[in-house]
Amino acid sequence: MTSRLDQALISLRQILRATEISSRALAKQCGLTPSQLILMEILAKSGAAAPSALAKDVSLSQATVTALIDKLENRNLVERKSDEKDRRRVSVVLTSKGAATLENAPSLLQQRFERGFGKLEDWEQAFLVAALERTVALLDAEELDAAPVLDVGAINDPAK
């Protein structure tokens, strides 16, 4: 292997490890996955949201968001509320327990990435995106389903 190849593989491994370590720390500290925490953060900002709006906000399928909401609801971190005028419409809201959990949650690796990425010049952002897309192509991973969430494994993994 060449030294550039070695460095590329080391960098990929460091990204994978950082993602795994961050996900484990979040799970250990508050029992959440990054995807669940992101949904809760959206609810904290919006006050309430329809599951379809949440799915659009996080670029996940409606089924995946429903599974995440089910898990959060089972832990009393969120609750579904029916609209008083139209009972078919449902909103999801953060409970007080959910708000407390969110307040005590560690900073996500994704948030650190977003802050750093936002500080880059436009050309640097474009270059980084192009390099990452090229890396995906080198790994023949273009067809893998992925959401813009730094997490390990499947987003709707039943173990999470």
pLDDT tens track for 25-71 = 888 888 898 889 989 999 999 988 999 999 888 888 889 899 999 99
| Domain assignment of residue 62, yes or no | yes
| Domain assignment of residue 160, yes or no | no
pLDDT at 57 (0 to 100): 87
CA dihedral sign, ordered 157, 111, 32, 74: negative
| Domain assignment of residue 145, yes or no | no
pTM of the model as a whole: 0.76
- Range(s) of the domain holding residue 31: 3-138
| Domain assignment of residue 128, yes or no | yes
pLDDT-based confidence at 153, cuts 50/70/90?
low
Write the single-letter amino acid at 93. V
Q: Is the pLDDT at 157 greater than 60, yes or no?
A: no
Domain count, the chain: 1
| Domain assignment of residue 158, yes or no | no
